[in-house]
Amino acid sequence: MNTRSLRFRMTAWYASLLAGALVLFSASVYVGLHRYLDLSLRRLLTEQAQSIGGELLIQLPQKGPDWLKSEINEHYAPSENARFIRVNRNDGGLVYLSEPPKNESFDPAVIPMHPTTGAHDYASNVEISGRQKLMIEQLTFRMRDGSAYAVTIGAPYQQVETVLHGLLLTLAGYTPLMVSLAIGGGYWLMRRALRPIDVITQRAEGITSTNLSQRLPVIQTGDELQRLSTSLNGMIARLEGAFQHINRFSADASHELRTPLTILQLELESIAQHAQLPRALAEQMGSALEETQRLSRIVENLLTISRLDAGEGRMEKVRVDLGKLAVSTAEQMHLLAEEKLISMQSKADEQVWVEGDRARLKQVIVNLIDNAIKYTPKDGAVVVAVTSDGRSARLEVADNGIGIAADALPHVFERFYRADKARSRESGGSGLGLAIVKAICGAHGGEVKIVSREGKGSHFIVELPLCDPGKHRKFDHEKVGEDGRPGVWTTIART
């Protein structure tokens, strides 16, 4: 458990505050009830003593001690009610003493007198007598004839203690239960409260430079969370603007460079073809022409990639048999392989249909085969294969060439990255081929993976989604593709 997390800290605070409040509450309830029960019992005993003193003792001189005994026994039944009652004359003479209680929990004979002074003097105490605690109240009554009597009355204190004990047990049992419930509830509540942040975080993690048009969900809470999501969306919008600006700039720059480069290339070609050129100059012209062609290729690649980035690369959505496309492309590039005495095999499953832009998909195959041939030494082998697993189409281009070092592997799809700069430049590479492959795969909802070991060869795997089999397609002979090829597939809903 992460003890620094907001959820943990808030729950801990909440639980400690609740526990503190509950302990305080329990303590005050306990003290309050203790006082109340104490006071009630005292009041009851005082009332009983007063009624003995006020109603019975007045008649004592006329009616005698036996009458008093029977009156007290009849009205207060001390033995049955576990009450202690004693009436003493002031000179110490005993007038009445109650019988021991039936349960013999205390002995009335051993309960001491409390010294009192003045009329209606009062003493109160809790005594331990035998096995029991007794609450004792003692009142002094002065008669008209000058004599004085002390009425002492006691009741077991156990009743009060039993109630208090019960309360203590209840509080001790319920307080931890309430705190545990508060911890569980608090944790759950915090989780609920923080869930929108989780959603924002997950969505934010999925937003990269390629899908900056996406936005985070705005939580309509009218508080900091809503402000956070709107501000983050504002930031993403500004980033999107900046990215678009950069992409448009690269696309515009590449586009602008294209025409002068083509003119330059044509001019150089026409000069190079001039028969009377001195040999040295002709060689220089040839080299300049090569460089111009290289430059044109780079500009063309840059234009492609920045258009894909900006989402401007108009993509046809046609049904393409990836297997056939790969096999025919491999055949077209056969000469390139033969030049280096590399054997090239291509095989494909039947009917591996994907939906996308034919020219772009072909570019993926060309770039991968071009690399395989370029980075495989003489007498090597290149295999191109297309298969389908029912869910996605798989294009594989494998070679047994120089391979890629483990530290270079994560970078090969980066723009202008070349694992071996000297060799790559020699072969005319600019490091944009795989970046284009990745961008095209991404635009088709697919991905490209690589397995390679230095000195052993490389294996590129492109996975593209197969055409949705739930849709019925019909061939539209009238429609003509951008490149002039007829036969664009259109999708119509199944009826």
Ligand X SMILES: Nc1ncnc2c1ncn2[C@@H]1O[C@H](COP(=O)(O)OP(=O)(O)OP(=O)(O)O)[C@@H](O)[C@H]1O
Query: Which residues here bind ligand X, judged by CB under 6 A?
Result: 301, 367, 371-372, 375, 399, 401-404, 412, 417-420, 424, 429-435, 458
Q: At closest approach, how far in Å is the CB of 375 from ligand X?
A: 3
Q: At closest approach, how far in Å is the CB of 424 from Mg ion?
A: 8
The residues with which 139 forms a beta bridge, in sequence order, are 122, 151
The pair of structure tokens assigned to 14 is: 């909440």
How many chain residues are in contact with Mg ion, going by CB under 5 A?
Answer: 2
Which of 186, 433, 446, 457 contacts Mg ion by CB under 5 A?
A: 433
Q: At closest approach, how far in Å is the CB of 350 from ligand X?
A: 27
The whole-angstrom separation of Cα 373 and Cα 487 is 32
Compare residues 294 and 473 and give the one whose CB is closer to ligand X.
294
Check if the beta carbon of residue 463 is closer than 8 Å to that of residue 393: yes
Q: At closest approach, how far in Å is the CB of 363 from ligand X?
A: 11
Query: Which one of Mg ion, ligand X, none is in contact with 399 (Cβ closer than 5 to 8 A by kind)?
Result: ligand X
Where does this chain touch Mg ion (CB under 5 A) — which range of 178-186, 343-351, 391-399, 425-433?
425-433
Check if the beta carbon of residue 150 is closer than 8 Å to that of residue 119: no
Amino acid at 181: L
Compare residues 298 and 320 and give the one whose CB is closer to Mg ion.
298
Q: Does 371 bind Mg ion (CB under 5 A)?
A: yes
Check if the beta carbon of residue 85 is closer than 8 Å to that of residue 134: no
Q: At closest approach, how far in Å is the CB of 372 from ligand X?
A: 5
Compare residues 98 and 301 and give the one whose CB is closer to ligand X.
301
What are the φ/ψ torsions at residue 274 (nearest 5 degrees)?
-65, 120
Q: At closest approach, how far in Å is the CB of 296 from Mg ion?
A: 16
**Angle CA 58–64–65, to nearest 5:** 100
Check if the beta carbon of residue 331 is closer than 8 Å to that of residue 346: yes
Maximum separation of any 2 CA atoms in the chain, in Å:
167
3-state SS class at 317: coil
Q: Does 154 bind Mg ion (CB under 5 A)?
A: no
- Which positions from 22 to 51 touch Mg ion by CB under 5 A, shown as an x/- string? ------------------------------
Q: At closest approach, how far in Å is the CB of 367 from ligand X?
A: 6
Compare residues 419 and 464 and give the one whose CB is closer to ligand X.
419
> From the DSSP assignment, how many helices (H) and strands (E) are in the chain?
10, 14
Helix or strand (DSSP H, E) at 357: none
The whole-angstrom separation of Cα 131 and Cα 257 is 111
Compare residues 247 and 424 and give the one whose CB is closer to ligand X.
424
The residues with which 467 forms a beta bridge, in sequence order, are none
Query: Which one of ligand X, Mg ion, none is in contact with 196 (Cβ closer than 5 to 8 A by kind)?
Result: none
The site for Mg ion (CB under 5 A) is made up of 371, 433
